[in-house]
A and B are shown apart, each in its own frame.
Chain A
Amino acid sequence: MPGGDFHPWFFVIVAAWVLVCGLGVVLFRKIMYSAVSMVFCFLGVAFAYALLNAPLVAIIQILVYVGAISIVIIFAIMLTEVQHGGYDLFFNRQTAIAAVVALVGAAVLAFVALSSDIGQIGDKSLTPGLRQLSRLIFDRYVFPFELVSLVLVAAMIGAIVLATREKERP
């Protein structure tokens, strides 16, 4: 069990939280419940980052995911029609297969991880400090960093173009 500078129970709580909320997202019939569940899931992941000695990632997770993305998604939900009905309406016909595939996938991934050399790694935390991280961003990875800003601009323009109602053509 993970530990070190925190009690293993923290991990158990965070893991349970994240998994339960994640399951909530994919299983709730009402989409608003899913959305709320998703927000909590994101929060849980932020706690996980915090436990992993990555406070910057945790903060950005809260800012971007819990703050921005969740709001955008909730807006999208409100802009579309809310549906009521049985499970048929919410799950498609390949649900059973999808469930099997997902479970098998998890098992395979776990098996692969288990059979790799991960086990030989110590539990000592190595996450870089803020200073080291900023040096990485603005020195070695400055080009991808700038590219990302370009991608954001492009996405912004794209979203505006897509969402703008087309004028009636004469």
Chain B
Amino acid sequence: MNALYWWLLLSFLLFCIGAFGVLARRNVILVVMSLEIMLNAVNLALVATANFRAGAKGAGTLFALFIIVLAAAEVTVGLAIVIANYRNRRTVQTDTFDELKG
């Protein structure tokens, strides 16, 4: 049980907490927040791996930076969609968005 393993375990747990939020919460904004938690978990795994493994030559750290930037873009667009949607429907409840059901 070396250090990387512990860091990865932390990352997995955080990832699954985020996943639970994405799967179970009704508020769209909370879903977006949980998504961010998941992204953080992934970043943590990347940084930890880059710290302890020589193979990637530090690219893991760099990818974490890229992911942070893209997450910012994603949150911006995602929340813009949420707001636009809220303006039309007056709700942020995920299970009301089921027009595409079969």
Name the prevailing secondary structure of the B interface residues. helix
Q: Which A residues touch B87, using CB under 8 A? A: 165
Indicate if A170 sits at the interface (CB-CB under 8 A): no
Query: B29-52, CB under 8 A of A: which get 1 and which 0?
Result: 110111011001001100110111
Q: Which of B10, B47, B51, B66 contacts A19 (CB 8 A)?
A: B10
The range of chain A's interface size is 35 or more
Which B residues, 1 to 45, have Cβ-Cβ distances below 8 Å to chain A? 1-10, 12-21, 23-27, 29-30, 32-34, 36-37, 40, 43-44
Q: Which of A73, A113, A118, A127 contacts B51 (CB 8 A)?
A: A127
Query: In the complex, A137 Cα to B90 Cα: how many Å?
Result: 44
Q: Which A residues touch B74, using CB under 8 A? A: 155
Which residue on B lies nearest to A91, using beta carbons?
A: B24
If A64-B72, A79-B83, A163-B80 are given as contacts, then 19 extra A-B residue pairs at C-beta distance below 8 Å, sorted by A number, are: A2-B6, A15-B10, A19-B17, A22-B18, A25-B37, A31-B27, A48-B44, A48-B47, A56-B61, A57-B61, A65-B36, A65-B40, A73-B75, A102-B20, A103-B16, A109-B16, A122-B2, A126-B53, A152-B72
